[in-house]
């Protein structure tokens, strides 16, 4: 072709569109790979720092060879009764006497193993005490809605029961390492809690963040409905005062909220998908319900005509998180492969506007803030990314500090955000320095979702420890 310039120009002329698309894809692919390398490098840096700090702390531990019995129960160590160090006092205990976990220095990022004595001491002296704590029995929280300033809380729950399936290769001999857990049952539930008493009055300015002492706030469960499949997604229809719940089997159920949050009544049930519903989102500007599933299908359900008005096969994206920019009529979805997709829904259909790649693992949470035109994304790669939506999604950097999967992130105040994830820890970040300014242990299991209310003064967290906690964030002390 170098010897035939005219032929080169002809080919370029007839294939200009395809060439431009290929060039765009090449550039976008390069930027995607660069973003993923940056996220992996940041995660590796955080992990190496954590390892070095722990190695320095282990120098002060009690020596294994000098201890023959548990410091708590006085039972002799053996092959079956192994030795474990308390990360707080450094003494050696058996597993049953050191099974608790709490955040301590220098392990403040993740809850560390501590003995029963240190655990009791730290819990009794802990400054971080919630306003209220709701227990859900054996069910972990998938999602919740904090409605009407906290007058009602709707909770979608799930619980998994396991059975061991043994397939021995040596006749009737059972080998323990051949037992593999197999999910045989999925239990889902939808709960409604109603607040008892008056609304809590919160005061203060946005100077410094601490946790206030416990106040009297209580909730009463007024509705509970259980299902054979896990409840996985939740949204609120503000026009009809209804709650919409997506389930593991692809079913979407609609519930009407009674007066003064006195009841929750199922009004409709739609079989919209063939697999797990990862996202349900009510779009009030179009009066439609968006649903995304593991079957890679996106659907729009028209509430007025009570029928599906739109269906899109994404072929590759399993979306699990969602947020909406109503000003520009754009829908933002996060997928399990780390891609963030932006869709325009102004004409009642979905048109892909942009794809953003900066995470190497799934996007667990998306939060858009119209005042700052910023998008926050929490990923399974332990990163929180920030995007400038005035420029169609330009990456403005990341918050690095979590050492486990980040499941949720929200804007807390003018210059701070709050995040949580698998470590059970709650991080409060300064947006100017991108550094954590306050860290506390919110739950003893992964935190699955959070919500910020009362202009950043009330924080609600929920987790796999089957609890929902309300925290008062005091800005005045």
Closest CA to 146 of 449, 475, 463: 449
Answer yes or no: do 118 and 139 share one domain. Answer: no
pLDDT digits (tens, 9 = 90+) for 369-412: 988 899 999 988 889 999 998 876 788 888 887 878 999 999 98
Average pLDDT, integer, range 196-219:
54
DSSP codes of every residue in 54-90: HHHHGGGSPPGGG--B-TTT-PBP-SSS--EE-TTT-
The DSSP 8-state label assigned to residue 137 in this structure reads T
Answer yes or no: do 189 and 294 share one domain. Answer: yes
Answer yes or no: do 119 and 198 share one domain. Answer: no
pLDDT value of position 38: 47
Per the structure block, which two tokens stand in for 453? 């209310």
Q: Which of 74, 107, 125 is the last residue of a domain?
A: 125
pLDDT value of position 191: 95
Strand partners, 299: 291, 311
pLDDT digits (tens, 9 = 90+) for 285-295: 899 999 999 99
Average pLDDT, integer, range 246-253:
95
Cβ(468)–Cβ(453) below 8 Å: no
> Of the given ranges (106-115, 206-215, 244-253), which has the lowest mean pLDDT?
206-215
β 467-474/330-335 pair status: unpaired
Answer yes or no: do 181 and 265 share one domain. Answer: yes
| Cα–Cα distance, 273 to 311 (Å, whole number) | 11
pLDDT value of position 371: 86
Burial 372-391 (b: 16+ CB within 10 A, else e): eebbbbbbbbbbbbbbebee
Answer yes or no: do 152 and 290 share one domain. Answer: yes
Place 110 in a pLDDT band, splitting at 50, 70 and 90: low
Average pLDDT, integer, range 361-373:
92
Residue 115 has pLDDT above 80, yes or no: yes
Residues whose CB is less than 8 angstroms from the CB of residue 133 and which lie 6 or more positions away in sequence, other chains included? 467, 468, 469, 470
| Cα–Cα distance, 203 to 286 (Å, whole number) | 37
Distance, CA of 393 to chain centre: 21
Task: Return the SS3 of 282.
Answer: strand
> Of the given ranges (276-280, 403-407, 467-471), which has the lowest mean pLDDT?
403-407
Residue located via tokens 């290769």: 169
Q: Where is mean pLDDT largest: 51-65, 124-138, 382-396?
A: 382-396
Answer yes or no: do 39 and 82 share one domain. Answer: no
Structural domain count, the chain: 3
Average pLDDT, integer, range 248-253:
95
Q: Which of 110, 125, 140 is the last residue of a domain?
A: 125
| Cα–Cα distance, 310 to 287 (Å, whole number) | 13
Cβ(193)–Cβ(470) below 8 Å: no
Answer yes or no: do 104 and 164 share one domain. Answer: no
User: For 148, left (φ over 0), alpha (ψ -120 to 50), or beta?
Assistant: left
Specify the higher pLDDT residue, 209 or 296. Answer: 296
pLDDT value of position 164: 39
Answer yes or no: do 453 and 336 share one domain. Answer: yes
| Cα–Cα distance, 476 to 212 (Å, whole number) | 10
We report the CATH number of the domain holding residue 217 as: 2.130.10.10
Cβ(374)–Cβ(341) below 8 Å: no
Answer yes or no: do 150 and 120 share one domain. Answer: no
Give the N- to C-terminal CA distance of the chain in Å, as an integer. Answer: 74
We report the CATH number of the domain holding residue 76 as: 3.30.40.10
Average pLDDT, integer, range 331-357:
93
Share of the chain above pLDDT 70, in %: 74
| Cα–Cα distance, 280 to 190 (Å, whole number) | 15
Per the structure block, which two tokens stand in for 23? 């060039």
pLDDT value of position 293: 96
pLDDT digits (tens, 9 = 90+) for 300-322: 999 999 999 999 999 889 999 99
Average pLDDT, integer, range 447-473:
90
Answer yes or no: do 115 and 152 share one domain. Answer: no
Answer yes or no: do 152 and 99 share one domain. Answer: no
Supply the range of the domain harboring residue 365: 132-474
Answer yes or no: do 256 and 342 share one domain. Answer: yes
β 152-165/140-147 pair status: antiparallel
Residue located via tokens 């499941």: 407
């Amino acid at each position: 072709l170098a010897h035939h310039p005219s032929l080169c120009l002809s080919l370029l002329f007839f294939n200009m569109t395809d060439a431009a698309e290929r060039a765009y894809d090449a550039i976008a692919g390069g930027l995607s790979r660069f973003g993923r390398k940056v996220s992996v490098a940041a995660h590796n840096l955080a992990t190496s720092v954590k390892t070095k700090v722990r190695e320095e702390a282990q120098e002060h531990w009690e020596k294994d060879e000098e201890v023959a019995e548990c410091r708590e129960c006085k039972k002799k160590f053996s092959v079956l009764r192994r030795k474990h160090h308390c990360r707080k006092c450094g003494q050696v205990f058996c597993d049953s006497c050191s099974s608790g976990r709490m955040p301590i220095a220098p392990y403040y990022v993740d809850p560390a193993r501590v003995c029963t004595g240190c655990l009791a001491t730290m819990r009794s002296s802990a400054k971080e005490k919630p306003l209220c704590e709701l227990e859900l029995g054996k069910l972990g929280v998938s999602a919740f809605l904090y409605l009407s300033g906290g007058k009602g809380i709707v909770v979608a729950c799930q619980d998994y029961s396991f059975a061991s399936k043994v397939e021995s290769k040596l006749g009737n001999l059972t080998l323990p390492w051949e037992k593999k857990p197999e999910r045989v049952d999925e239990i889902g539930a939808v709960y409604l809690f109603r607040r008892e008493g008056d609304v809590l009055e919160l005061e203060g300015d946005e100077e410094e963040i601490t946790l206030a002492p416990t106040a009297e706030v209580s909730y009463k469960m007024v509705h509970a409905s259980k299902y054979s499949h896990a409840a996985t997604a939740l949204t609120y229809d503000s026009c009809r005062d209804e709650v919409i719940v997506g389930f593991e089997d692809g079913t979407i159920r609609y519930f009407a909220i009674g007066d003064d949050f006195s009841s929750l009544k199922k009004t409709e049930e739609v079989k919209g998908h063939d697999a797990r519903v990862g996202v349900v989102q009510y779009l009030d500007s179009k009066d439609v319900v968006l649903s995304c599933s593991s079957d890679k299908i996106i659907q729009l359900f028209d509430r007025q005509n009570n029928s599906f008005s739109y269906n899109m096969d994404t072929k590759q994206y399993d979306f699990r998180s969602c947020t909406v920019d109503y000003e520009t009529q754009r829908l933002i979805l996060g997928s399990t492969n780390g891609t963030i997709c932006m869709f325009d829904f102004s004409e009642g259909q979905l048109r892909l506007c942009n794809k953003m790649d900066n995470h190497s693992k799934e996007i667990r949470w998306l939060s858009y803030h119209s005042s700052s035109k910023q998008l926050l994304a929490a990923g399974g790669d332990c990163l929180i990314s920030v995007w400038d939506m005035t420029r169609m999604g330009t990456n403005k950097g990341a918050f690095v500090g979590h050492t486990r999967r980040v499941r949720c992130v929200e804007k807390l105040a003018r210059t701070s955000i709050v995040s949580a994830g698998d470590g059970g820890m709650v991080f409060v970040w300064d947006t100017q320095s991108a550094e954590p300014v306050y860290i506390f242990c919110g739950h003893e299991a992964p935190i699955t979702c959070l919500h910020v209310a009362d202009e950043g003064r009330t924080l609600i967290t929920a987790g796999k420890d089957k609890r929902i906690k309300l925290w008062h964030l005091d800005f005045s002390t």
